Structure 1
Amino acid sequence: MESKSVFTFFKKYSILLGALSLLLLSGCQSATFEPINANSTGFFDHNFVYPFSLLIKGIAGFFNDNYGLSIIIITLVIRLLLMPFILKQTKNSVQMKEKMEKIKPELNALQEKYKDKKDVESKTKMQQEMMELYQKHNMNPLASLGGCLPIMIQFPILIAFYYAIRRTPEIATHSFLWFDLGQSDMVMTILAVVIYFIQFKVSQIGMDPKLKQQMAIMGLMSPIMIGVISLSAPAALPLYWTVGGLFMIVQTIISRKIYASASNSTESK
Protein backbone atom coordinates (compact mmCIF):
# COMPACT_ATOMS: atom_id res chain seq x y z
CA MET A 1 0.00 0.00 0.00
CA GLU A 2 1.22 3.48 -0.79
CA SER A 3 0.45 4.84 2.65
CA LYS A 4 3.06 2.74 4.36
CA SER A 5 5.64 2.03 1.67
CA VAL A 6 8.11 4.73 2.71
CA PHE A 7 7.46 4.39 6.43
CA THR A 8 8.00 0.62 6.51
CA PHE A 9 10.90 0.37 4.08
CA PHE A 10 13.71 0.31 6.62
CA LYS A 11 11.70 -1.59 9.21
CA LYS A 12 11.38 -4.38 6.67
CA TYR A 13 14.77 -4.21 5.04
CA SER A 14 16.93 -3.51 8.09
CA ILE A 15 16.28 -7.13 9.10
CA LEU A 16 17.11 -8.26 5.57
CA LEU A 17 20.31 -6.21 5.66
CA GLY A 18 21.20 -7.81 8.97
CA ALA A 19 20.69 -11.26 7.49
CA LEU A 20 22.77 -10.35 4.45
CA SER A 21 25.56 -9.13 6.71
CA LEU A 22 25.53 -12.52 8.44
CA LEU A 23 25.75 -14.14 5.02
CA LEU A 24 28.79 -11.96 4.33
CA LEU A 25 30.34 -13.05 7.61
CA SER A 26 29.80 -16.72 6.79
CA GLY A 27 31.49 -16.39 3.40
CA CYS A 28 35.07 -15.78 2.32
CA GLN A 29 36.45 -18.29 4.82
CA SER A 30 39.76 -19.08 3.12
CA ALA A 31 42.36 -16.41 3.84
CA THR A 32 39.98 -14.26 5.84
CA PHE A 33 40.49 -16.07 9.14
CA GLU A 34 44.29 -15.99 9.17
CA PRO A 35 45.64 -14.50 12.44
CA ILE A 36 45.56 -10.72 12.43
CA ASN A 37 48.73 -8.79 13.32
CA ALA A 38 50.51 -5.47 12.77
CA ASN A 39 51.74 -6.64 9.36
CA SER A 40 48.30 -7.57 8.03
CA THR A 41 47.57 -5.72 4.81
CA GLY A 42 44.34 -4.12 3.66
CA PHE A 43 42.65 -0.95 4.84
CA PHE A 44 39.85 -2.69 6.75
CA ASP A 45 42.15 -5.23 8.41
CA HIS A 46 44.73 -2.65 9.47
CA ASN A 47 42.37 0.12 10.61
CA PHE A 48 39.42 -1.82 12.00
CA VAL A 49 40.07 -5.51 12.66
CA TYR A 50 43.60 -5.19 14.11
CA PRO A 51 42.67 -2.41 16.62
CA PHE A 52 39.78 -4.54 17.86
CA SER A 53 42.13 -7.52 18.24
CA LEU A 54 44.51 -5.38 20.30
CA LEU A 55 41.59 -4.16 22.41
CA ILE A 56 40.38 -7.71 23.06
CA LYS A 57 43.86 -8.78 24.19
CA GLY A 58 44.41 -5.62 26.25
CA ILE A 59 41.17 -5.92 28.23
CA ALA A 60 41.63 -9.68 28.66
CA GLY A 61 45.12 -9.06 30.06
CA PHE A 62 43.72 -6.54 32.54
CA PHE A 63 41.31 -9.23 33.82
CA ASN A 64 43.93 -11.99 34.13
CA ASP A 65 43.56 -13.27 30.53
CA ASN A 66 39.77 -13.59 30.76
CA TYR A 67 38.93 -13.40 27.04
CA GLY A 68 35.26 -14.22 27.57
CA LEU A 69 34.84 -11.24 29.88
CA SER A 70 36.81 -9.10 27.42
CA ILE A 71 34.39 -9.98 24.59
CA ILE A 72 31.40 -9.20 26.82
CA ILE A 73 32.80 -5.82 27.90
CA ILE A 74 33.65 -4.73 24.35
CA THR A 75 30.25 -5.88 23.06
CA LEU A 76 28.46 -3.83 25.72
CA VAL A 77 30.66 -0.77 25.10
CA ILE A 78 29.98 -0.94 21.34
CA ARG A 79 26.24 -1.21 21.95
CA LEU A 80 26.32 1.69 24.42
CA LEU A 81 28.18 3.88 21.91
CA LEU A 82 25.64 3.01 19.22
CA MET A 83 22.68 3.54 21.55
CA PRO A 84 22.12 7.27 20.78
CA PHE A 85 21.69 6.43 17.08
CA ILE A 86 19.32 3.55 17.84
CA LEU A 87 17.29 5.65 20.28
CA LYS A 88 16.96 8.39 17.68
CA GLN A 89 15.80 5.81 15.17
CA THR A 90 13.23 4.47 17.66
CA LYS A 91 11.99 7.97 18.46
CA ASN A 92 11.55 8.79 14.76
CA SER A 93 9.79 5.46 14.23
CA VAL A 94 7.32 6.06 17.08
CA GLN A 95 6.60 9.62 15.94
CA MET A 96 6.10 8.58 12.33
CA LYS A 97 3.80 5.76 13.35
CA GLU A 98 1.63 8.16 15.37
CA LYS A 99 1.42 10.63 12.50
CA MET A 100 0.53 7.86 10.05
CA GLU A 101 -2.27 6.69 12.34
CA LYS A 102 -3.72 10.21 12.46
CA ILE A 103 -3.87 10.62 8.69
CA LYS A 104 -4.80 6.98 7.96
CA PRO A 105 -8.53 7.71 7.38
CA GLU A 106 -7.68 10.39 4.80
CA LEU A 107 -5.08 8.13 3.15
CA ASN A 108 -7.57 5.26 2.97
CA ALA A 109 -10.14 7.58 1.38
CA LEU A 110 -7.56 8.72 -1.16
CA GLN A 111 -6.62 5.16 -2.04
CA GLU A 112 -10.26 4.20 -2.35
CA LYS A 113 -10.78 7.12 -4.71
CA TYR A 114 -8.08 5.89 -7.10
CA LYS A 115 -8.17 2.12 -6.54
CA ASP A 116 -9.77 1.34 -9.93
CA LYS A 117 -7.74 3.89 -11.90
CA LYS A 118 -4.58 2.37 -13.36
CA ASP A 119 -3.62 4.98 -15.95
CA VAL A 120 -0.44 7.05 -15.53
CA GLU A 121 -2.32 10.33 -15.19
CA SER A 122 -4.44 9.05 -12.31
CA LYS A 123 -1.40 7.60 -10.53
CA THR A 124 0.43 10.91 -10.88
CA LYS A 125 -2.57 12.80 -9.56
CA MET A 126 -2.85 10.40 -6.63
CA GLN A 127 0.81 10.98 -5.75
CA GLN A 128 0.29 14.75 -5.90
CA GLU A 129 -2.75 14.60 -3.61
CA MET A 130 -0.86 12.33 -1.24
CA MET A 131 2.03 14.81 -1.00
CA GLU A 132 -0.48 17.61 -0.37
CA LEU A 133 -1.94 15.51 2.44
CA TYR A 134 1.52 15.05 3.99
CA GLN A 135 2.17 18.80 3.74
CA LYS A 136 -1.19 19.54 5.33
CA HIS A 137 -0.18 17.51 8.40
CA ASN A 138 3.44 18.77 8.41
CA MET A 139 4.79 15.33 7.56
CA ASN A 140 7.90 14.43 5.63
CA PRO A 141 7.60 10.76 4.62
CA LEU A 142 11.21 10.77 3.42
CA ALA A 143 12.37 11.53 6.97
CA SER A 144 12.06 7.83 7.75
CA LEU A 145 14.91 7.21 5.33
CA GLY A 146 17.20 8.47 8.09
CA GLY A 147 16.60 5.12 9.76
CA CYS A 148 19.33 3.62 7.62
CA LEU A 149 22.04 5.66 9.37
CA PRO A 150 22.29 3.46 12.51
CA ILE A 151 22.43 0.38 10.28
CA MET A 152 25.22 1.83 8.15
CA ILE A 153 27.19 2.86 11.24
CA GLN A 154 26.76 -0.51 12.96
CA PHE A 155 27.82 -2.82 10.17
CA PRO A 156 31.52 -1.86 9.76
CA ILE A 157 32.02 -1.83 13.55
CA LEU A 158 30.28 -5.12 14.25
CA ILE A 159 31.83 -6.86 11.24
CA ALA A 160 35.30 -5.69 12.32
CA PHE A 161 34.70 -7.00 15.85
CA TYR A 162 33.45 -10.31 14.41
CA TYR A 163 36.64 -10.79 12.39
CA ALA A 164 38.80 -9.68 15.32
CA ILE A 165 37.28 -12.50 17.39
CA ARG A 166 37.83 -15.02 14.58
CA ARG A 167 41.38 -13.87 13.87
CA THR A 168 42.81 -13.45 17.37
CA PRO A 169 44.38 -16.87 18.07
CA GLU A 170 44.86 -16.19 21.79
CA ILE A 171 41.09 -16.42 22.30
CA ALA A 172 41.02 -20.08 21.23
CA THR A 173 43.46 -21.09 23.98
CA HIS A 174 41.16 -19.96 26.81
CA SER A 175 37.88 -21.05 28.33
CA PHE A 176 35.00 -19.10 29.84
CA LEU A 177 32.28 -20.39 32.17
CA TRP A 178 31.63 -23.99 31.02
CA PHE A 179 32.99 -23.86 27.45
CA ASP A 180 36.22 -23.47 25.49
CA LEU A 181 36.18 -20.21 23.55
CA GLY A 182 37.98 -21.83 20.62
CA GLN A 183 35.57 -24.77 20.25
CA SER A 184 31.96 -24.82 19.12
CA ASP A 185 29.42 -25.21 21.91
CA MET A 186 25.85 -26.40 21.38
CA VAL A 187 24.46 -24.65 24.47
CA MET A 188 25.87 -21.27 23.41
CA THR A 189 24.60 -21.83 19.88
CA ILE A 190 21.07 -22.51 21.14
CA LEU A 191 21.26 -19.48 23.46
CA ALA A 192 22.31 -17.19 20.60
CA VAL A 193 19.49 -18.46 18.35
CA VAL A 194 16.84 -18.13 21.08
CA ILE A 195 18.00 -14.65 22.11
CA TYR A 196 17.95 -13.34 18.53
CA PHE A 197 14.51 -14.85 17.94
CA ILE A 198 13.23 -13.13 21.09
CA GLN A 199 14.89 -9.89 19.95
CA PHE A 200 13.00 -10.14 16.64
CA LYS A 201 9.70 -10.71 18.47
CA VAL A 202 10.35 -7.75 20.79
CA SER A 203 11.05 -5.53 17.78
CA GLN A 204 7.55 -6.40 16.49
CA ILE A 205 5.73 -5.13 19.59
CA GLY A 206 3.07 -2.62 18.55
CA MET A 207 3.65 -3.28 14.86
CA ASP A 208 0.84 -3.45 12.34
CA PRO A 209 -0.36 -7.10 11.96
CA LYS A 210 0.02 -7.01 8.17
CA LEU A 211 3.60 -5.75 8.50
CA LYS A 212 4.32 -8.49 11.05
CA GLN A 213 3.20 -11.07 8.52
CA GLN A 214 5.36 -9.51 5.79
CA MET A 215 8.44 -9.58 8.04
CA ALA A 216 7.92 -13.11 9.40
CA ILE A 217 10.29 -14.92 7.03
CA MET A 218 12.97 -12.21 7.02
CA GLY A 219 12.84 -12.04 10.81
CA LEU A 220 13.65 -15.74 11.07
CA MET A 221 16.66 -15.47 8.78
CA SER A 222 19.01 -13.90 11.35
CA PRO A 223 18.45 -16.49 14.12
CA ILE A 224 18.72 -19.36 11.65
CA MET A 225 21.92 -18.06 10.06
CA ILE A 226 23.43 -17.33 13.49
CA GLY A 227 22.67 -20.94 14.43
CA VAL A 228 24.20 -22.34 11.23
CA ILE A 229 27.38 -20.26 11.59
CA SER A 230 27.70 -20.96 15.32
CA LEU A 231 27.54 -24.74 14.84
CA SER A 232 30.98 -24.72 13.22
CA ALA A 233 32.38 -21.52 14.78
CA PRO A 234 34.29 -20.96 18.04
CA ALA A 235 31.98 -20.46 21.04
CA ALA A 236 33.37 -16.92 21.38
CA LEU A 237 31.07 -15.89 18.49
CA PRO A 238 27.72 -17.06 19.92
CA LEU A 239 28.85 -15.51 23.22
CA TYR A 240 29.25 -12.19 21.40
CA TRP A 241 25.89 -12.58 19.64
CA THR A 242 24.10 -13.59 22.85
CA VAL A 243 25.35 -10.57 24.80
CA GLY A 244 24.56 -8.20 21.92
CA GLY A 245 21.09 -9.70 21.49
CA LEU A 246 20.26 -9.38 25.20
CA PHE A 247 21.36 -5.75 25.15
CA MET A 248 19.15 -5.00 22.14
CA ILE A 249 16.12 -6.64 23.80
CA VAL A 250 16.48 -4.48 26.92
CA GLN A 251 17.24 -1.39 24.84
CA THR A 252 14.18 -1.88 22.63
CA ILE A 253 11.79 -2.44 25.56
CA ILE A 254 13.08 0.59 27.50
CA SER A 255 13.16 2.95 24.50
CA ARG A 256 9.65 1.97 23.41
CA LYS A 257 8.30 2.63 26.90
CA ILE A 258 10.11 5.96 27.18
CA TYR A 259 8.91 7.35 23.85
CA ALA A 260 5.42 5.87 24.17
CA SER A 261 4.94 7.47 27.61
CA ALA A 262 6.43 10.75 26.37
CA SER A 263 4.00 10.74 23.47
CA ASN A 264 1.02 9.99 25.72
CA SER A 265 1.94 12.82 28.10
CA THR A 266 2.24 15.22 25.16
CA GLU A 267 -1.20 14.28 23.85
CA SER A 268 -2.79 14.68 27.29
CA LYS A 269 -1.62 18.30 27.59
Structure 2
Amino acid sequence: MRKKVLLLMALVGILALLSGCTEIDQDITPDSEGIWNQYFVYPLSWLIVKVAEFFQAEYGYGLSIVIVTILIRFLLLPLNIKQLKSSKAMQEIQPELQKVREKYSSKDQETQQKLQKETMELFQKNGVNPLAGCLPILVQMPILIAFYHAIMRTGALDNHDFLWFQLDSPDPYYILPVLTAGFTYLQQKLMMAGTTMQQNSMLPQMTMMLYLMPVMIGIFAIFFPSALALYWVVGNIFMVLQTLLIKNPMMKKNEVTTGGNK
Protein backbone atom coordinates (compact mmCIF):
# COMPACT_ATOMS: atom_id res chain seq x y z
CA MET A 1 0.00 0.00 0.00
CA ARG A 2 2.80 2.39 0.85
CA LYS A 3 4.44 1.76 -2.53
CA LYS A 4 1.13 2.51 -4.27
CA VAL A 5 0.75 5.81 -2.43
CA LEU A 6 4.32 6.86 -3.20
CA LEU A 7 3.88 5.93 -6.85
CA LEU A 8 0.69 7.96 -7.12
CA MET A 9 2.25 10.94 -5.34
CA ALA A 10 5.22 10.84 -7.72
CA LEU A 11 2.91 10.79 -10.74
CA VAL A 12 0.81 13.65 -9.38
CA GLY A 13 3.97 15.68 -8.85
CA ILE A 14 5.21 15.02 -12.38
CA LEU A 15 1.85 15.86 -13.91
CA ALA A 16 1.49 18.99 -11.80
CA LEU A 17 4.92 20.14 -12.97
CA LEU A 18 4.12 19.20 -16.55
CA SER A 19 0.72 20.88 -16.63
CA GLY A 20 2.07 23.87 -14.74
CA CYS A 21 4.52 24.52 -17.56
CA THR A 22 1.62 25.44 -19.86
CA GLU A 23 -0.30 28.72 -19.79
CA ILE A 24 -3.87 27.86 -18.82
CA ASP A 25 -5.12 31.18 -20.20
CA GLN A 26 -3.70 30.55 -23.68
CA ASP A 27 -5.85 28.82 -26.30
CA ILE A 28 -4.59 25.46 -27.50
CA THR A 29 -3.75 25.40 -31.24
CA PRO A 30 -1.86 23.14 -33.67
CA ASP A 31 1.10 25.48 -33.18
CA SER A 32 1.21 25.13 -29.39
CA GLU A 33 4.66 23.94 -28.37
CA GLY A 34 5.71 21.26 -25.90
CA ILE A 35 5.11 17.53 -25.54
CA TRP A 36 2.17 18.07 -23.17
CA ASN A 37 0.40 20.40 -25.60
CA GLN A 38 1.12 18.50 -28.80
CA TYR A 39 0.49 14.91 -27.66
CA PHE A 40 -2.05 15.27 -24.84
CA VAL A 41 -4.03 18.51 -24.86
CA TYR A 42 -4.37 19.35 -28.56
CA PRO A 43 -5.51 15.87 -29.72
CA LEU A 44 -8.35 15.93 -27.16
CA SER A 45 -9.25 19.51 -28.08
CA TRP A 46 -9.24 18.61 -31.79
CA LEU A 47 -11.45 15.56 -31.16
CA ILE A 48 -13.98 17.56 -29.13
CA VAL A 49 -14.27 20.20 -31.87
CA LYS A 50 -14.53 17.71 -34.73
CA VAL A 51 -17.25 15.64 -33.05
CA ALA A 52 -19.18 18.85 -32.23
CA GLU A 53 -18.89 20.04 -35.83
CA PHE A 54 -20.19 16.68 -37.04
CA PHE A 55 -23.47 17.13 -35.13
CA GLN A 56 -23.91 20.78 -36.08
CA ALA A 57 -26.52 21.10 -33.32
CA GLU A 58 -27.19 23.70 -30.65
CA TYR A 59 -25.91 21.31 -28.00
CA GLY A 60 -23.13 19.94 -30.22
CA TYR A 61 -20.26 20.63 -27.85
CA GLY A 62 -22.05 19.09 -24.88
CA LEU A 63 -22.85 15.99 -26.94
CA SER A 64 -19.24 15.93 -28.08
CA ILE A 65 -17.95 15.81 -24.50
CA VAL A 66 -20.37 12.97 -23.71
CA ILE A 67 -19.26 10.98 -26.78
CA VAL A 68 -15.53 11.62 -26.24
CA THR A 69 -15.92 10.57 -22.60
CA ILE A 70 -17.58 7.29 -23.59
CA LEU A 71 -14.88 6.71 -26.21
CA ILE A 72 -12.14 7.23 -23.60
CA ARG A 73 -13.89 4.83 -21.21
CA PHE A 74 -14.13 2.16 -23.90
CA LEU A 75 -10.40 2.56 -24.58
CA LEU A 76 -9.70 2.11 -20.87
CA LEU A 77 -12.11 -0.82 -20.54
CA PRO A 78 -9.45 -3.60 -20.71
CA LEU A 79 -7.50 -1.90 -17.89
CA ASN A 80 -10.63 -1.49 -15.78
CA ILE A 81 -11.56 -5.15 -16.23
CA LYS A 82 -8.08 -6.07 -15.08
CA GLN A 83 -8.50 -3.76 -12.08
CA LEU A 84 -11.80 -5.40 -11.10
CA LYS A 85 -10.31 -8.89 -11.31
CA SER A 86 -7.24 -7.83 -9.33
CA SER A 87 -9.39 -6.13 -6.67
CA LYS A 88 -11.52 -9.24 -6.28
CA ALA A 89 -8.47 -11.50 -6.03
CA MET A 90 -6.87 -9.17 -3.45
CA GLN A 91 -10.02 -9.23 -1.33
CA GLU A 92 -10.18 -13.04 -1.43
CA ILE A 93 -6.63 -13.53 -0.12
CA GLN A 94 -6.92 -11.02 2.74
CA PRO A 95 -7.46 -13.72 5.43
CA GLU A 96 -4.35 -15.60 4.26
CA LEU A 97 -2.40 -12.35 3.99
CA GLN A 98 -3.38 -11.43 7.55
CA LYS A 99 -2.12 -14.80 8.80
CA VAL A 100 1.24 -14.22 7.11
CA ARG A 101 1.51 -10.77 8.72
CA GLU A 102 0.72 -12.20 12.13
CA LYS A 103 3.26 -14.97 11.59
CA TYR A 104 6.00 -12.45 10.84
CA SER A 105 4.94 -9.62 13.13
CA SER A 106 8.47 -8.90 14.35
CA LYS A 107 10.04 -5.74 12.89
CA ASP A 108 13.61 -7.01 12.58
CA GLN A 109 15.13 -7.06 9.11
CA GLU A 110 15.32 -10.86 8.73
CA THR A 111 11.67 -11.34 9.70
CA GLN A 112 10.55 -8.56 7.37
CA GLN A 113 12.44 -10.17 4.49
CA LYS A 114 10.64 -13.44 5.19
CA LEU A 115 7.35 -11.53 5.30
CA GLN A 116 8.00 -9.95 1.91
CA LYS A 117 9.07 -13.27 0.40
CA GLU A 118 6.03 -15.18 1.65
CA THR A 119 3.71 -12.33 0.69
CA MET A 120 5.05 -12.34 -2.88
CA GLU A 121 4.67 -16.13 -3.02
CA LEU A 122 1.05 -15.74 -1.90
CA PHE A 123 0.47 -13.13 -4.61
CA GLN A 124 2.05 -15.33 -7.30
CA LYS A 125 0.13 -18.41 -6.16
CA ASN A 126 -3.19 -16.58 -6.49
CA GLY A 127 -2.28 -14.54 -9.57
CA VAL A 128 -2.52 -11.23 -7.75
CA ASN A 129 -0.64 -8.14 -8.90
CA PRO A 130 -0.71 -5.56 -6.05
CA LEU A 131 0.01 -2.72 -8.51
CA ALA A 132 -2.70 -3.70 -11.01
CA GLY A 133 -5.27 -1.64 -9.13
CA CYS A 134 -3.19 1.50 -9.70
CA LEU A 135 -2.78 1.03 -13.44
CA PRO A 136 -6.14 2.47 -14.55
CA ILE A 137 -5.62 5.44 -12.20
CA LEU A 138 -2.13 6.05 -13.58
CA VAL A 139 -3.47 6.02 -17.14
CA GLN A 140 -6.57 8.10 -16.43
CA MET A 141 -4.81 10.85 -14.49
CA PRO A 142 -2.90 12.39 -17.44
CA ILE A 143 -6.03 12.00 -19.60
CA LEU A 144 -8.13 13.82 -17.00
CA ILE A 145 -5.63 16.67 -16.64
CA ALA A 146 -5.30 16.88 -20.44
CA PHE A 147 -9.09 16.93 -20.71
CA TYR A 148 -9.20 19.77 -18.17
CA HIS A 149 -6.66 21.74 -20.22
CA ALA A 150 -8.51 20.96 -23.46
CA ILE A 151 -11.75 22.29 -21.98
CA MET A 152 -10.13 25.38 -20.45
CA ARG A 153 -8.09 26.22 -23.56
CA THR A 154 -10.46 25.35 -26.41
CA GLY A 155 -11.91 28.69 -27.43
CA ALA A 156 -14.73 27.03 -29.38
CA LEU A 157 -16.30 25.88 -26.08
CA ASP A 158 -16.79 29.43 -24.81
CA ASN A 159 -20.41 30.52 -24.32
CA HIS A 160 -21.84 27.16 -25.39
CA ASP A 161 -24.78 25.82 -23.38
CA PHE A 162 -25.77 22.22 -22.68
CA LEU A 163 -28.98 21.36 -20.85
CA TRP A 164 -29.16 23.86 -17.94
CA PHE A 165 -25.49 24.90 -17.69
CA GLN A 166 -22.76 26.67 -19.63
CA LEU A 167 -19.84 24.43 -20.51
CA ASP A 168 -17.06 26.87 -19.65
CA SER A 169 -18.52 27.87 -16.26
CA PRO A 170 -19.35 26.03 -13.01
CA ASP A 171 -22.89 24.66 -12.63
CA PRO A 172 -24.89 27.51 -11.01
CA TYR A 173 -27.38 25.07 -9.46
CA TYR A 174 -24.77 22.59 -8.14
CA ILE A 175 -26.62 19.70 -9.77
CA LEU A 176 -23.55 18.35 -11.57
CA PRO A 177 -21.37 18.34 -8.41
CA VAL A 178 -24.08 16.39 -6.55
CA LEU A 179 -24.42 13.91 -9.43
CA THR A 180 -20.64 13.60 -9.66
CA ALA A 181 -20.27 12.82 -5.95
CA GLY A 182 -23.27 10.48 -5.98
CA PHE A 183 -22.16 8.37 -8.93
CA THR A 184 -18.57 8.30 -7.62
CA TYR A 185 -19.86 6.90 -4.31
CA LEU A 186 -22.10 4.39 -6.10
CA GLN A 187 -19.22 3.17 -8.24
CA GLN A 188 -16.95 2.77 -5.22
CA LYS A 189 -19.74 0.99 -3.32
CA LEU A 190 -20.27 -1.46 -6.18
CA MET A 191 -16.53 -2.17 -6.24
CA MET A 192 -16.80 -3.30 -2.61
CA ALA A 193 -19.98 -5.31 -3.13
CA GLY A 194 -19.69 -8.98 -2.25
CA THR A 195 -16.96 -8.47 0.35
CA THR A 196 -17.41 -9.55 3.95
CA MET A 197 -17.09 -7.30 6.99
CA GLN A 198 -13.82 -9.06 7.80
CA GLN A 199 -12.40 -8.32 4.35
CA ASN A 200 -13.46 -4.68 4.57
CA SER A 201 -11.80 -4.32 7.97
CA MET A 202 -8.60 -5.70 6.45
CA LEU A 203 -8.76 -3.12 3.65
CA PRO A 204 -9.27 0.16 5.56
CA GLN A 205 -7.97 2.18 2.59
CA MET A 206 -10.94 0.99 0.50
CA THR A 207 -13.40 2.08 3.19
CA MET A 208 -11.67 5.46 3.47
CA MET A 209 -11.76 6.00 -0.31
CA LEU A 210 -15.47 5.08 -0.36
CA TYR A 211 -16.25 8.31 1.49
CA LEU A 212 -13.25 10.52 0.74
CA MET A 213 -13.20 10.25 -3.07
CA PRO A 214 -16.85 11.34 -3.67
CA VAL A 215 -16.41 14.36 -1.38
CA MET A 216 -13.18 15.43 -3.11
CA ILE A 217 -14.57 15.01 -6.63
CA GLY A 218 -17.80 16.77 -5.66
CA ILE A 219 -15.91 19.78 -4.27
CA PHE A 220 -13.73 20.00 -7.39
CA ALA A 221 -16.87 19.91 -9.56
CA ILE A 222 -18.27 22.95 -7.74
CA PHE A 223 -15.40 25.17 -8.91
CA PHE A 224 -14.34 23.57 -12.21
CA PRO A 225 -16.04 24.22 -15.59
CA SER A 226 -19.26 22.25 -16.05
CA ALA A 227 -17.74 20.54 -19.10
CA LEU A 228 -15.27 18.76 -16.81
CA ALA A 229 -18.02 17.87 -14.31
CA LEU A 230 -20.02 16.49 -17.25
CA TYR A 231 -17.03 14.32 -18.13
CA TRP A 232 -16.94 12.98 -14.55
CA VAL A 233 -20.70 12.28 -14.42
CA VAL A 234 -20.78 10.45 -17.77
CA GLY A 235 -17.57 8.59 -16.94
CA ASN A 236 -18.87 7.44 -13.55
CA ILE A 237 -22.21 6.31 -15.02
CA PHE A 238 -20.21 4.26 -17.52
CA MET A 239 -18.12 2.81 -14.67
CA VAL A 240 -21.26 1.90 -12.68
CA LEU A 241 -22.73 0.03 -15.66
CA GLN A 242 -19.35 -1.58 -16.36
CA THR A 243 -19.05 -2.79 -12.76
CA LEU A 244 -22.60 -4.19 -12.80
CA LEU A 245 -22.01 -6.01 -16.09
CA ILE A 246 -18.57 -7.40 -15.16
CA LYS A 247 -18.44 -7.87 -11.41
CA ASN A 248 -21.88 -9.45 -10.93
CA PRO A 249 -21.14 -12.37 -13.31
CA MET A 250 -17.76 -12.78 -11.57
CA MET A 251 -19.49 -12.97 -8.16
CA LYS A 252 -22.08 -15.47 -9.43
CA LYS A 253 -19.35 -17.61 -10.95
CA ASN A 254 -17.49 -17.57 -7.62
CA GLU A 255 -20.69 -18.57 -5.75
CA VAL A 256 -21.23 -21.51 -8.14
CA THR A 257 -17.61 -22.60 -7.74
CA THR A 258 -17.78 -22.31 -3.95
CA GLY A 259 -21.04 -24.21 -3.87
CA GLY A 260 -19.58 -26.96 -6.00
CA ASN A 261 -16.65 -27.37 -3.67
CA LYS A 262 -18.84 -27.89 -0.60
How many residue pairs get aligned? The number is 249
Q: How does 1:1-269 map to 2 (within 5 A)?
A: 13=5, 24=16, 28=20, 31-65=23-57, 66-101=60-95, 103=96, 108=99, 111-115=101-105, 117-125=106-114, 130=118, 134=122, 138-139=125-126, 143-185=129-171, 186-207=174-195, 208-211=199-202, 213-267=204-258, 268=260
Shift of 1:244: 0.8
SS in 2 for 1:144: coil
Q: Distance in 1 between matches of 2:115 and 2:23?
A: 54
TM-score computed with the length of structure 1 as normaliser: 0.76
- In the alignment, structure 2 segments of 5+ residues that lack a partner are none
Task: Give, in whole Å, the separation in 1 of the partners of 2:115 and 2:177.
Answer: 50
1:172–1:234 contact (8 Å) kept in structure 2 = no
| Letter matched to residue 149 of structure 1 | L
Aligned partners of 2:93 and 2:204: how far apart in 1?
Answer: 22
User: Aligned letter for 1:138?
Assistant: K
SS in 2 for 1:75: helix
Work out whether residues 204 and 212 of structure 1, in 8 Å CA contact, stay in contact via their aligned partners in 2: no
Query: 1:132 & 1:56 partners in 2: Cα distance?
Result: 44
TM-score in terms of structure 2 length: 0.77
Q: Larger relative CO (CA 8 A, sep 6+): 1 or 2? A: 1
Give me the whole-angstrom Cα distance separating, in 2, the residues matched to 1:217 and 1:161. 27
What amino acid is aligned across from residue 194 of structure 1 in structure 2?
A: G
Contact 1:181 1:236 in 2 (8 A): yes
Distance 1:240 1:118, change over 3 A: closer
Identity rate of aligned residues, in percent?
Answer: 37
Counterpart-to-counterpart distance in 2, 1:77 and 1:41: 26
Partner Cα distance (1:173, 1:60) in 2: 14
SS at match of 1:243: helix
* Contact 1:94/1:260 (<8 A) preserved: no
The change in CA–CA distance for 1:182 and 1:79 in structure 2 (over 3 A counts) is: same
2:119 & 2:224 partners in 1: Cα distance?
50
- CA distance in structure 1 between the aligned counterparts of 2:24 and 2:90, rounded to whole angstroms: 41
Aligned partner letter, 1:78:
I
Give the match's secondary structure for 2:130. Answer: helix
Assess if the C-alpha contact under 8 Å between 2:147 and 2:228 holds in 1. no
Q: 1:164, CA displacement in angstroms?
A: 1.0
Distance 1:259 1:50, change over 3 A: same
CA drift at 1:70:
0.5
**C-alpha displacement of 1:218:** 4.1
Once the two structures are overlaid, the 10-residue window that deviates more, 233-242 or 117-126, is 117-126
- Offset of 1:71 from its aligned partner? 0.3
Alpha-carbon shift at residue 216 of structure 1 (Å): 4.2
